[in-house]
Amino acid sequence: MTALVRSFHFALLVSWLALTLGVWWVATNSFEAFNAEKNPVASKLFEPAPEAKIKGRMAAREVNTRIFRAWNRLQLMFCVLLFCFLWWAGRMRGLPLALAGCLLLIVGVHVFWFTPKIEALGRILTNAEASGNAPAVQSEFGSYHGAYVITDILKACVLFAAIWVSPWRKVFGSETPRG
């Protein structure tokens, strides 16, 4: 049973890191996909041309908002599963527990602070862009977005560290000696 739990623990960490990288790619590329100047399909969807750029950004923001809302909820479930796997594997101490705690803290900040603020400011920014008053909100939105990105990179590093110290190595009999 312990070997199975450790395997699931490792699979959860690797999947979480892979999904994090996938979400980064989707979020980064969604604005180009909805850019009427770069994507001929988007230009047809968002006619007339003068409003195409704003409509494309609005669509990309809405898609990203929905993706991140779902992603953050999924990450909360990942945190719960991670703590369960650590408990079942008998590793509720030391470095694995500290790394799981860091992940829970980062995800909690994302879910309950950064994402709601980014969503609210994004909606205000979308309306401000349509009316031409964007600079007032853009700075605050940029600060929260930047903080989210930095903490998400930190989360990816913590995930990598958690994979590195994961008890999965015992399953395969290749535990490296620690000096």
In a domain, 19, yes or no: yes
Who's near 55: CB < 8 A, 6+ residues apart?
36, 45, 46
Alpha-carbon distance of 110 to 72, in angstroms, equals: 7
- With cut-offs at 50, 70 and 90, classify the pLDDT of residue 168: low
Asked if the structure places residue 178 within a domain, the reply is: no
Q: Does the residue 177 lie in any domain?
A: no
The pLDDT assigned to 13 comes to 94
pLDDT above 90 coverage of the chain, percent: 44
Residue 101 belongs to what domain range? 2-172
Q: Do 39 and 32 meet the contact criterion of CB atoms below 8 Å apart?
A: yes
pTM over 0.75, yes/no: yes
d(CA 86, CA 91): 5
Provide the total of helices (H) and of strands (E) in the chain, helices listed first.
Answer: 7, 0
Confidence of residue 125 (pLDDT cuts 50, 70, 90): confident
Question: Does residue 84 lie in a domain region?
Answer: yes
Mean pLDDT of the chain: 84
Total number of domains in the chain = 1
Does a structural domain hold residue 46? yes
Question: What pLDDT band is residue 177 in, cutting at 50, 70 and 90?
Answer: very low
Are the beta carbons of 134 and 121 closer than 8 angstroms? Answer: no
The total of other beta-carbon atoms located within 10 Å of residue 154's CB is 13
**pLDDT tens digits, residue range 35-94?**
777 777 776 776 666 677 777 878 888 899 999 999 999 999 999 999 988 888 776 678
Both tokens assigned to 109: 């900040």
Distances (CA, A) of 55 to 34, 37, 39, 47, 161: 8, 12, 13, 9, 41
Looking at the predicted structure, is the pLDDT value of residue 14 above 70?
Answer: yes
36 falls within a domain: yes
Q: How far is the C-alpha of 89 from the C-alpha of 71, rounded, in Å?
A: 26
Quote the pLDDT of residue 73: 94
Q: Is residue 179 part of a domain?
A: no
93: region left, alpha or beta (phi > 0 left; psi from -120 to 50 alpha): beta
Are residues 37 and 51 in contact, defined by beta-carbon separation less than 8 angstroms?
Answer: no
Does the residue 121 lie in any domain?
A: yes
